[in-house]
């Protein structure tokens, strides 16, 4: 691509794949073995109804807590990505503020049951109806659709790891101070992702499908921000006093 | 930006457990 920097060697790509995959597995919140043991148990009807009967603000707070838990694992993932901690602190913050929730949505496909259209949440597998009390059915449907479509690609753990790093290291985020540094890191990550896909004999279209997912992720995250501001307009005190501080810092 | 993101900044400072 006419890039002046020296080409990345195969060995360097293998090394990058190894580091990012290891970082992913060390910080993935739910190991595959744990997921298998859970035997995909879903909520019983009365449990579903108890979520549906929760006051809107209580369900919002519960979801904010769960999102924040997942985001903390993503922060740990970022810290272990080769080169991320070499970026200036401003850019580390910019990338995580913009990309942590996107990586949470990517990781969601690891805990998603496509047959039953259900995601692991609060101890069991929950369908979209569990989230009715939030008052965001359109966004919830889109999030479930995204998880289902990402699941259909059947990405391996190292492919997921590389795609997560690729999403996080987006050089087009606003407020970046050292854009070129991030661009170099993202290009290397993309080469590593291509390398893994080739090594795993994936058909050609997968990389393009993954690129299209990036735009969907952006839309999901901006819709989340819109829903939050609409919610906060009605319940400002709840957000201020009951929402996790990190969540307010990132999305407030 | 660091001022407005003290928690995130602190998480980044913590050693990778």
Instruction: Summarize pLDDT for A145-199 with one digit per residue, the tens.
Output: 999 999 999 999 999 999 999 999 999 999 999 999 999 999 999 999 999 999 9
Residue A163 φ/ψ region, left for φ over 0, alpha for ψ in the -120 to 50 degree band, beta for the rest: alpha
pLDDT tens digits along A87-112: 999 999 999 999 999 999 999 999 99
- How does residue A5 score in pLDDT terms, banded at 50, 70 and 90? low
Q: How far is A90 from chain B (nearest CA, A)?
A: 6
Identify which of A72, A76, A93 has the shortest CB distance to residue B2: A93
Contact B5 A75 (CB under 8 A): no
Contact A194, A207 (CB under 8 A): yes
Number of CB atoms found within 10 A of residue A200's CB: 12
Contact residues on chain A for B3, CB-CB shorter than 8 A: none
Measure the CA–CA gap between A63 and A58, rounded to whole angstroms: 9
pLDDT tens digits along A185-231: 999 999 999 999 999 999 889 999 999 999 999 999 999 999 999 99
Q: Under DSSP, is residue A60 helix (H, G, I), strand (E, B) or coil?
A: helix
Contact A125, A110 (CB under 8 A): no
A89 close contact with B: CB closer than 8 A? yes
Contact A61, A135 (CB under 8 A): no
pLDDT higher than threshold 90 for residue A80: yes
Question: So what's the ipTM on this one?
Answer: 0.95
Contact A93 B9 (CB under 8 A): yes
Contact residues on chain A for B2, CB-CB shorter than 8 A: 89-90, 93
Measure the CA–CA gap between A150 and A160, rounded to whole angstroms: 10
Q: Which residues of A27-64 are buried (b: 16+ CB within 10 A; e: fewer)?
A: bbbeeeeeeeeeeeebbeeeebeebeebebbebbbbbb
pLDDT of residue A40: 79
In A, minimum Cα distance to B15 occurs at: A79
Q: Under DSSP, is residue A113 helix (H, G, I), strand (E, B) or coil?
A: strand
Contact A175, B1 (CB under 8 A): yes
pLDDT higher than threshold 90 for residue A4: no
Averaged confidence pLDDT in chain A: 95
pLDDT of residue A13: 94
Contact A249 B5 (CB under 8 A): yes
């Amino acid at each position: 691509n006419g890039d002046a920097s020296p080409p990345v060697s195969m060995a360097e790509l293998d090394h990058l794949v190894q580091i990012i995959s290891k970082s992913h597995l060390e910080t993935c919140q739910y190991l595959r073995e744990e997921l298998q043991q859970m035997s995909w148990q879903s909520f019983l009807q009365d449990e579903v109804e108890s979520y549906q009967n929760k006051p809107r603000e209580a369900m919002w707070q519960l979801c904010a807590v769960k999102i924040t838990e997942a985001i903390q694992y993503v922060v740990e993932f970022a810290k272990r990505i080769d080169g991320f901690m070499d970026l200036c602190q401003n850019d580390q913050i910019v990338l995580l503020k913009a990309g942590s929730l996107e990586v949470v949505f990517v990781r969601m496909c690891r805990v998603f049951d496509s047959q039953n259209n259900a995601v692991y949440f609060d101890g069991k597998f929950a369908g979209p109806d569990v989230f009715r009390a939030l008052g965001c059915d359109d966004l919830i449907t889109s999030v479930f659709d995204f998880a289902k479509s990402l699941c259909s690609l059947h990405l391996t753990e190292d492919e997921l790891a590389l795609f997560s790093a690729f999403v996080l290291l987006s050089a087009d985020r606003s407020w970046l101070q050292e854009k070129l540094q991030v661009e170099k890191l993202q290009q290397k990550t993309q080469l590593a992702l291509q390398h893994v896909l080739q090594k795993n004999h994936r058909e050609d279209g997968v990389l393009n499908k993954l690129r299209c997912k990036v735009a969907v992720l952006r839309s999901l995250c901006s819709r989340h921000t819109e829903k939050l501001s609409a919610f906060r307009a009605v319940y400002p005190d709840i957000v201020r006093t009951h929402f996790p501080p990190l969540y307010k810092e990132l999305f407030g | 930006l660091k001022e407005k993101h003290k928690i995130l900044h602190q998480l980044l400072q913590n050693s990778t457990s």
